[in-house]
C-alpha cells in the first residue's frame, strides 16, 4: 500500500475495467433480461422467438465478463484476490448459472430433455442477475479486510441491502430485455413486451427507492456518507430519474426503440452514481486503485498486447455484429 497516486497505466486499466463492466452490464443485461422474461410465459412460439432475438449476440456479450475478470487478475491482483473470496458462493452460482444458460442455447435442440434446459435458461439468467445485483449491494455496505485478505463470513451478500439490489437488478435486466424485445420484434411478441414495460419500470423505481433508504441506513453506521463528499455527483441519480421518465414516455407513444435506449441511459447513470460513491476505492472502503495495482512492469506487458491490440479488435467486432444484425428479427437472422 505504498503508492498514493495511481500511475497512468493503473488508471488506464481501471478505466478499461470500468468501461468493460458498463458494456457488459448493458449487453449481457438485455440477453439475461430476455432469459428472465422467457420464464414468465409458457408459449413455445414466443419462447423460440425470444431466443432468436438474442442468439447472435449472447456469447459475444459474455466475452466482456471474461475481459473484466482477465483485466482484473492481470492489473489488480489484490482486488481479484479479495473480491472473489468475498463472493465465494455468489461467484459459484454465477459460474454454474452461466454454464447452464450457455449450453441451454445448444442443448435444447439436440441433447434431449428440453424442459430441463428451458428451466436452466430461465433460472440461470435470473440467478446471474440476482448475484450481480447482490454484489453491488454488498459493496455499498463495504467489504471487511484483515491483512489484505477478505475477513467476512460467506453470507454477507444475503443481508437486506444486497437482497434488495439483487431483486432490483433482476427487474432492471428484465426491463432492459423487454425494451430489447419491443425494438427487435414485431407482432405478438412486441405487444407482449409492451404490456410489461411500465410495470417493470415502476417496480425498478420502487425497489431502488427502498434500496437507497437501506443504503443510507447501512452507510450511516460507517465512515463516509454516500454523496456527502461529492455533492455534484447527485447529477447522475437525477439523470437516472429523467431516463426513467423517458421509458414511460416511450411506452405511451409506442416508440419501439425508446424504452431500450432510455433504460440504457438509466443504467449508465446508475453506474456513474456508484463510481462517484466508490472512487478512489476498488474494494469499498479499503483498497484503492493505487494500492491494488500490479507493478508497472506487469501493466505495461499487458498494455502493449491486450490493451493496444486485442481490446480495439473486440470493440470493433462487437460494433460490426450489432450493425450486421440491426433491425427487426424476421425469420431468424438468416
Partner 1 sequence: MELDPVLLSRIQFAFVISFHIIFPSFTIGLAAWLATIEGMRLATGKPIYRRVFDFWLKVFALSFGMGVVTGIVMAFQFGTNWSVLAERSGPIQGPLLGYEGFTAFMLEATFFGVMLLGRDRVPPWFYFFSCCMVSLGTMFSSFWILCNNSWMQVPLGHAVVDSKIVPEDWWAITTGPIVRVRWPHMLFAAFLTTGMSVIATGAWYVRRRIYYEEGRVMLHWGLGLVAVIIPVQLLFGHLTGGYVVKYQPSKIAAIEGRWHNEKPASEVLIAWPDVENRRNLFAITLPPPWGSMIDSGSTTAEEVGLDSIPPENWPPMRIPFFTFRIMVGMGVIILAVSWFGVWLRWRGRLETTQWYLWIAFLSFPTGFVAVLAGWFTAEVGRQPWVVYGLLRTQDAVTPSLTGGDVLFSLIAYIVVYAVIYSSGFYYIYRLLRDGPAVEVRAALPGPARATALRGAE
CB of 93 to partner 1, least distance (A): 8
Q: What's the CA gap between 74 and 333, in Å, rounded?
A: 37
- Window 290-319: residues binding partner 1 (CB under 8 A): 294-295, 297-298, 301-302, 305-306, 310-311, 313-314, 317-318
Among 148, 160, 202, 237, indicate the residue that binds partner 1 (CB under 8 A).
148
The interface region with partner 1, picked from 22-30, 84-92, 158-166, 229-237 by CB under 8 A, is 84-92
Q: What are phi and psi of 225, to 5 degrees?
A: -140, 85
CB of 226 to partner 1, least distance (A): 27
- Window 116-145: residues binding partner 1 (CB under 8 A): 116
Quick one: how many helices (H) and strands (E) in the chain? 13, 4
- Window 40-79: residues binding partner 1 (CB under 8 A): 55-60, 63, 65-67, 69-71, 73-75, 77-78
Comparison of 282 and 306: residue with beta carbon closer to partner 1: 306
Contact between 112 and partner 1 (CB under 8 A)?
yes
Contact between 20 and partner 1 (CB under 8 A)?
no
**Beta strands in the chain, from DSSP E residues, in sequence order:** 145-146, 149-150, 281-283, 287-288
Q: What's the CA gap between 78 and 55, in Å, rounded?
A: 36
Count residues binding partner 1 (CB under 8 A).
71
Comparison of 8 and 112: residue with beta carbon closer to partner 1: 112
The interface region with partner 1, picked from 243-251, 252-260, 277-285, 326-334 by CB under 8 A, is 326-334
Among 15, 113, 224, 229, indicate the residue that binds partner 1 (CB under 8 A).
113
Contact between 19 and partner 1 (CB under 8 A)?
no
CB of 161 to partner 1, least distance (A): 20
Q: What are phi and psi of 332, to 5 degrees?
A: 65, -175
Q: 204: burial class by Cβ within 10 Å (0-12, 13-18, 19+)?
A: buried
Comparison of 14 and 270: residue with beta carbon closer to partner 1: 14
First to last CA, the chain: 54
Comparison of 106 and 191: residue with beta carbon closer to partner 1: 106
Q: Count other Cβ atoms within 10 Å, centred on residue 12.
A: 17
Comparison of 152 and 237: residue with beta carbon closer to partner 1: 152
Q: What's the CA gap between 56 and 244, in Å, rounded?
A: 28
The C-alpha angle 104, 106, 108, rounded to 5 degrees, equals 60
Q: Which among 258, 264, 208, 237 is positioned nearest to 23, based on CA atoms?
A: 264
Comparison of 52 and 237: residue with beta carbon closer to partner 1: 52
Amino acid at each position: 500500500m505504498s503508492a498514493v497516486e495511481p500511475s497512468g497505466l493503473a488508471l488506464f486499466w481501471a478505466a478499461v475495467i470500468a468501461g468493460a463492466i458498463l458494456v457488459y452490464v448493458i449487453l449481457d443485461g438485455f440477453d439475461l433480461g430476455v432469459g428472465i422474461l422467457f420464464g414468465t410465459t409458457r408459449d413455445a412460439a414466443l419462447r423460440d422467438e425470444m431466443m432468436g432475438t438474442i442468439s447472435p449476440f449472447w456469447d459475444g456479450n459474455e466475452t466482456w465478463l471474461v475481459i473484466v475478470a482477465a483485466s482484473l487478475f492481470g492489473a489488480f491482483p489484490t482486488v481479484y484476490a479479495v473480491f472473489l473470496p468475498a463472493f465465494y458462493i455468489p461467484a459459484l452460482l454465477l459460474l454454474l448459472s452461466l454454464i447452464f444458460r450457455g449450453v441451454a442455447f445448444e442443448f435444447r435442440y439436440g441433447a434431449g430433455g428440453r424442459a430441463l434446459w428451458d428451466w436452466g435458461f430461465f433460472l440461470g439468467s435470473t440467478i446471474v442477475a440476482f448475484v450481480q445485483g447482490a454484489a453491488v449491494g454488498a459493496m455499498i455496505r463495504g467489504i471487511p479486510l484483515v491483512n489484505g485478505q477478505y475477513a467476512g463470513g460467506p453470507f454477507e451478500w444475503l443481508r437486506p441491502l444486497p437482497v434488495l439490489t439483487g431483486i432490483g437488478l433482476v427487474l432492471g435486466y428484465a426491463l432492459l430485455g423487454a425494451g430489447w424485445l419491443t425494438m427487435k420484434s414485431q407482432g405478438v411478441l412486441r405487444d407482449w413486451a409492451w404490456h410489461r414495460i411500465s410495470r417493470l419500470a415502476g417496480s425498478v423505481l420502487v425497489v431502488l427507492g427502498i434500496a437507497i433508504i437501506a443504503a443510507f441506513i447501512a452507510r450511516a453506521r460507517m465512515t463516509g456518507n454516500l454523496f456527502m463528499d461529492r455533492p455534484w455527483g447527485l447529477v447522475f441519480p437525477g439523470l437516472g430519474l429523467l431516463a426513467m421518465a423517458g421509458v414511460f414516455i416511450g411506452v405511451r407513444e409506442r416508440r419501439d426503440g425508446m424504452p431500450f435506449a432510455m433504460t440504457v441511459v438509466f443504467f449508465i447513470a446508475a453506474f456513474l452514481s456508484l463510481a462517484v460513491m466508490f472512487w478512489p476505492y476498488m474494494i469499498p472502503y479499503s483498497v484503492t486503485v493505487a494500492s491494488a495495482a500490479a507493478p508497472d512492469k506487469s501493466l505495461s506487458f499487458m498494455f502493449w498486447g491486450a490493451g493496444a491490440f486485442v481490446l480495439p479488435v473486440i470493440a470493433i467486432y462487437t460494433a460490426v455484429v450489432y450493425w450486421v444484425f440491426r433491425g427487426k428479427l424476421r425469420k431468424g437472422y438468416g
